[in-house]
Amino acid sequence: MAGAAESDLPTEQESAKGTCDWPHAPPHRLGEAGVYFVTARARHRARLLADDAIRDWFQEALFDLVEEFDWKLQAWAVLSNHYHLVAHSPRREGGAQSLSRMLQKLHSLTTKELQRRENQPGGTRLWQNYRETLLTYQRSYLARLNYMHQNAEHHGSVRVGA
């Protein structure tokens, strides 16, 4: 691995416990129940969700999985090559940890559906890893909501004014 000293790499014990940051992937700290801001993007910034029909399908799949995993969706933005969501984790012990399984299932379903629609079965990975942030302050929560709305306008998904 170029550029990383062996001492910079996590030990097997640290990696298994999730107590260290891996240098090439965002850490997932899902120990606490609460409101999370999540962003995931397509690999190579591919416009996987550029078509209205697939974007609608993706949104419905997201809604179904949020319900299945008992998350409470508060806001979302589905754009052509990435998406954001703000959601409250289940309150039960370890409920926030279900985010990883939920997004893995969403990305798997999306990959299979896109490959089915394009008649190209295969194991090509379409999604990058996701990033999540536990929102603990109202200002942080409002800033993320504002960002989501501005980002959707910036990417031409919505029109404001006029």
Domain extents for the chain? 28-154
Mean per-residue pLDDT over the chain, rounded: 82
Q: What is the pLDDT of residues 121-148, one digit of tens each?
A: 776 789 988 999 999 999 999 999 998 8
Contact between 85 and 133 under an 8 Å Cβ cutoff? The reply is no
Position 3 confidence tier, pLDDT thresholds 50, 70, 90: very low
**Which residues, in sequence order, are CB contacts of 152 under 8 Å at separation 6+?**
77, 79, 158
Q: What is the pLDDT of residues 27-49, one digit of tens each?
A: 656 778 899 999 999 999 999 99
pLDDT at 55 over 80: yes
CATH of the structural domain 28-154, one choice from 3.40.190.10, 3.30.70.1290, 3.40.50.300, 3.10.150.10: 3.30.70.1290
Locate 97 and state its tokens. 């940890």
Q: What is the pLDDT of residues 92-115, one digit of tens each?
A: 888 999 999 999 999 999 999 999
Buried b or exposed e, range 57-87, using 16+ CB within 10 angstroms = bbeeebeebbeebebeebebbbbbebbbbbb
d(CA 64, CA 87): 14
pLDDT at 62 over 70: yes
What pTM did the predictor assign?
Answer: 0.77
Tokens 């990383």 sit on residue: 4
**Which residues, in sequence order, are CB contacts of 98 under 8 Å at separation 6+?**
69, 70, 71, 89, 90
